[in-house]
Chains A and B, each alone.
Chain A
Amino acid sequence: MSESVGLDKVIKSHGLVRAVDHVSLSIQNGEFFSILGPSGSGKTTILRLIAGLDRPDLGDIIIQQRIVTLDPPHKRPVNMVFQHYALFPHLSVYENVAFGLHMKGERQANIQKAVSHMLALVRLQGKEKRLPGQLSGGEQQRVALARALVNRPVVLLLDEPLAALDQQLRQEMQGELKRLQREVKATFICVTHQQDEALMLSDRIAVMHGGKLLQVGTPQEIYDRPVSSAVARFIGLSNALSGTIVSCDGGLCRVEPNGLSPVMVSCSPHDSLQGAVTVMVRPERVHVSSNMSANRYDNSLQAMVHHVAFSGNEVVYHVRLLGGAIWMARVPIAEAQACPLTVGQQVYLQWWAQDGLVLPSQSPPC
C-alpha cells in the first residue's frame, strides 16, 4: 500500500491558539481513517489543511507523493463533505452535484451521466429537481456525499458526517459510508468526536487533544493499549485510580492507590513505569457483588452503590470508592437480575490484573 495523504510536522495557529501542533501523519491509499478528539482539538483544522482551505504556518501537506502545501483547493484531488453539508441553497440537487464537474469544464453530456450515476449510488434518483431546503437531513447528507464523490477524488474528507443525524439514521449512514467507500475506492478521512463511530468505521484512528496527536493505531490497538489516560478516557475507559508504583516485575505491577489497598495490574515487561501512575479498568470487566466471590480475582476494592442505570441489555452500576472516585460497572441483565443491588449497598469491586491498564499520569486528562 502506498501513502495517500501525508502531514509532515504541520503547525497551524488561529491567533494565539495552536490549533494544530507538530502533527505528522501518514494515511494509506484506500484507508478509512478517523481523527477522533473533543471539539476544539484541531481535527477540523487538519481537514481544512488537507483540503487547501487553510494553509499551514509550518510543515508540509503531501497528497499522492506530491507536496501540495501551497496549492489552492481546486488543484488538489480532494473533496470535502462539510459538517452541516453546506449545500448551495439556490441550486437544485442536480445542480449541486454537478457543480464540481461544471467548474472543471466537463462536457454537458458527461456531467449528466456522472451525476445520475452518482445520485443512483446514493439512492436519490427522482429528487434531482428538489432544492436542498426541501430535503430531509439524511437526504441532504447523501447529496453532500454525492457532490463530493462525483469529482472522483483520491481522498474524501468528512467533517462530523453523522453528527447532524438522529440515532437511527446515523447507524444506517455508517453502513452506507462503508459501502460507498468500497464502491468508489477512495481514501476516506473522517473527523468525529464520537468514539463508537470511530471504532466501528475506521481502519485506523488518530486521537487528538489540544492540537496534538496523542495516538495513532487500529481501533483494537487504541482500545486495548491506549498510551495515556487521556486517550483511555476518550475511548470510553472511565474507571481511573491514581496511585504510586510500589514494585514492577515479571509483567505485573503493584500499585498503591491513595488511601486504598494495593492493586495488581499487568503491564508489558519493557514498560519502565515508576512513580505516579493511573490505573484504569474497563467498566465491562469489573465484577460487582455484595460479598467477596471466593476471592479468586486478583483485585478487590470496597465501594458503595451510588446509582443504578438500566440500559436494555445491561445494567450500569455507578459505585463510589472509599477515596471518593466514581466507577462504573456494566453487568449483563441476566446476571444483574440474579442478584440485584440497590443504591446505598456496600459492594466489592473485583477484576483480574490483566483487565487493568497502568499508565503514566502526567498526561492531562480530557
Chain B
Amino acid sequence: MKRMPSSFILVSLLVMLFLYLPVVILIGLSFNASTMGVAWKGFTFQWYEKLAMDRAILEATVNSVVIAFVSTGLALVLGVGTAIGLETRHGVQRAWVNMILLLPLVIPEILLGVSLLMVFVLCQVHLGFGTIIIGHMVFNLPLTIVIIRARLRKLDPAWEDSARDLGATSWDVLTRITLPLLRPAIWGAGLLGFTVSLDDFVVTFFVAGPGSTTLPLKVFSMIRTGMTPEVNALSAVMVVVSMLCVGLSWFLQQRSAPASSGSSYL
C-alpha cells in the first residue's frame, strides 16, 4: 500500500475531529457529576441510573423500538418485493417508477412531515402509532429498495437459470436461491432502516399524537425545560446504539459483496 502524505493525514484528522468531537464531549459529560454547566465535578454513573428509573423515558424507548421494528419490517417486505420486481421485469415504465420511488430520499424531511400531517388530517386519521409507522415507512421503503437492488444486480442470472434447469419453480428460485443470497443485504437494510427510524425526529414530530412519544421527541421536550445531564446520558445511549446498528449494517453489506470492489451506498 502506498503511504499517504502527511498533509492528507492531518486534514483527515481535522475532519474526524470536526465530526466526532461534539459526540465525544456529549458522552464525556454524561459521566460528569455536575448538575449544571460543563465544568468537570467528578465521575459518576448517577445520570444513567436516573435514566433507568424514569418511567416516561422507558415508555418512550419502548415506543421507539416498537415503531422502528414494525416500520422496518413492513418496509423490508414491501421493499424486497419491489426490488425483485423492478430488477426482473424490464419495461419502459422502469425509469420513472425508479424516480418516483427514490424521491422521498431527497425531499426535505420537513416537507415530508408537513404533507403527511395534512393528508392524515384531511382523511381524519387518528394521530398515533399508525401514522408514525406510515411516516417512517415513507423514507424506509426507498432506502430498502436501493440497498436490495444494488445486491440483486450483483447476482448472476445464470444462478436462476441453472436452478430452473434443475427443476425449480419460480417459488423455489425465490426461496432457495434469491432470498438466501439476498440475506446479508436484507439484514443490512433492516438495521439501517431501524436506526433511521429510531433516530427520526422531524417526520415523527409532525405525525405523532398524544401517548405516542418517541425517544427523540422525549429528548426534545426535556431540552426545552433545560439541559440536564440526564439528557446527555440518554443521548449517549442513542448514539452508541445507532453507531452499532449502522456499523453492523455496513459490515453485513461488505460481506454480501465479497467479489465486488466494496462500493457501498453509504
Most buried by A among B167, B168, B177, B180: B167
Q: Which residue of A73, A86, A89 contacts B167 across the interface (Cβ within 8 Å)? A: A73
Residues of B within 8 A of A200 (CB): none
Interface size class of A (residues with CB under 8 A): 20 to 34
CA distance A90 to B184 in the complex (A): 12
* B 161-201 to A, binary, CB cutoff 8 A, 1 in contact else 0: 11111111100100011001100000000000000000000
Whether B169 and A74, one on each chain, are in contact in the complex, defined by CB atoms closer than 8 angstroms, is yes
| Complex contacts, B168 vs chain A, CB 8 Å | 74, 99, 103
Q: Does A40 contact B (CB under 8 A)?
A: no
B159 touches A73 (CB 8 A): no
A304 within 8 A of B: no
Selected interface stretch from A58-66, A76-84, A264-272, A280-288: A76-84
Q: Is A51 located at the chain interface by the 8 A CB criterion? A: yes
Task: Evaluate contact between B166 and A82: CB separation under 8 angstroms.
Answer: no
Of B162, B169, B172, B180, which is within 8 A of A86 by CB? Answer: B162
Q: Which residue of B lies closest to A153 (CB)?
A: B165
Indicate if the CB atoms of B161 and A103 lie closer than 8 Å. Answer: no
Partner of B163, one of A78, A88, A89, A104: A88
What CA separation (Å) do A158 and B22 show in the bound complex?
A: 62
Query: B167 to chain A: which residues have CB within 8 Å?
Result: 73-74, 100, 103-104, 151
Q: Return chain B residues, CB-CB under 8 Å to A74.
A: 164, 166-169
Instruction: For chain B, residues 16 to 61, give those with C-beta under 8 angstroms from any C-beta of chain A.
Output: none
Residue of B nearest to A79 (CB): B165
Q: Point out the residues of chain A lying under 8 angstroms from B10, CB to CB.
A: none
- Write out, one digit per residue, whether chain A residues 21-55 have a CB within 8 A of any chain B CB (1) or not (0): 00000000000000000000000000010011100
A53 / chain B contacts, CB cutoff of 8 Å: 161, 164-165
Contact of B166 among A48, A72, A151 (CB under 8 A): A151
Do A88 and B177 contact each other (CB < 8 Å), given the known contacts A74-B168, A104-B167, A147-B166?
yes
Contact indicator A82/B162 (Cβ below 8 Å): yes
Cross-chain contact B164 with A99 (CB below 8 angstroms): no
Q: Which 5 A-B pairs have the closest CB atoms?
A: A103-B167, A86-B158, A100-B166, A74-B167, A86-B162
Interface residues of B (CB under 8 A from A): 156, 158-159, 161-169, 172, 176-177, 180-181
